[in-house]
Amino acid sequence: MIAVYLLALVSTAMACSCCPPSPLKVKLCAADSVSHVKVISRRNKNDKFALSDVIYEVEHVRVFKKPRSLPRLPSEVYTPSPRECGLEMEVGEEYLLAGDI
């Protein structure tokens, strides 16, 4: 089963208060990039001063939208930890990610 999530809509947690989600079409149209990805690996960043605590390595199954200035989208997704309203994804699962680069 393919789990499909939008980056901006996934960030919910009990320990924080996140922005309410906008309609999906609005988010997808406003994003710099939209891609169907498969999560290959997840690792925690060990730098305590880093802005991003979690790094996901992803494979782009299908790119729907990307900036023309980039030959391809990056294979790493940097996000705060889930407790800080960051994105939480499972290795081996597939997602629809939209965001700005």
Residues annotated in the binding site for Zn(2+), as ranges? 16
If residue 14 lies in a helix (H) or strand (E), which one and from where to where?
A: none
Compute the distance between CA of residue 43 and CA of residue 17 in angstroms, rounded to an integer. 24
- Token pair of 71 as six digits: 């030959």
> Residues comprising the binding site?
16
The strands making up 76-79's β-sheet, listed across from edge to edge, are: 76-79, 54-65, 33-44, 94-99
Residue whose C-alpha is closest to residue 76's, from 85, 89, 65 = 89
